[in-house]
């Protein structure tokens, strides 16, 4: 029974790690898209004769960045720290708990 429970926990952790990995891949793709968009705006600004068009593009990018920031904040709240989810599962002995060592206290001076 205990082994079945532990197996279920490990399966759940593996599923959550996969989900976290998928979300990380999405974040990486989103960051790359934003980098490309910023580069495009920079190129357009260099070639533009219409300052108003460049300003509208920059405003649109600002809106996109705001939406991306909100999405990232939501994911952070839902997932907690992604690094924790991607870490290796603890060993069974760590789950049980290793015996604590007593730290010798220094003697008070006489």
Task: Report the mean per-residue pLDDT for the chain.
Answer: 74
Please state, in angstroms and as integers, the Cα–Cα distance from residue 83 to each residue in 63, 88, 103, following that order.
28, 10, 31
Q: Which of 25-29, 44-48, 52-56 has the highest mean pLDDT?
A: 25-29
For the record, the structure tokens of 63 come out as 């809106």
Using pLDDT thresholds of 50, 70 and 90, give the confidence band for residue 12: very high
Nearest to 24 by CA among 67, 88, 72, 63: 72
Per-residue pLDDT of 60-84, as tens digits, reads: 778 877 887 787 777 777 766 555 5
Burial tier of 5 (Cβ tally within 10 Å: 0-12, 13-18, 19+): exposed
């Amino acid at each position: 029974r205990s082994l079945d429970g532990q197996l279920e926990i490990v399966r759940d952790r593996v599923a959550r790690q996969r989900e976290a990995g998928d979300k990380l891949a999405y974040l990486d793709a989103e960051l790359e898209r934003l980098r490309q968009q910023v580069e495009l705006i920079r190129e357009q600004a260099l070639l533009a004769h219409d300052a108003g068009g460049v300003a509208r593009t920059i405003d649109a990018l600002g809106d996109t960045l705001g939406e991306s920031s909100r999405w990232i904040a939501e994911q952070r709240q839902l997932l907690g720290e992604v690094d924790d989810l991607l870490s290796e599962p603890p060993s069974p002995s760590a789950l049980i708990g290793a015996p604590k060592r007593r730290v010798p206290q220094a003697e008070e001076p006489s």
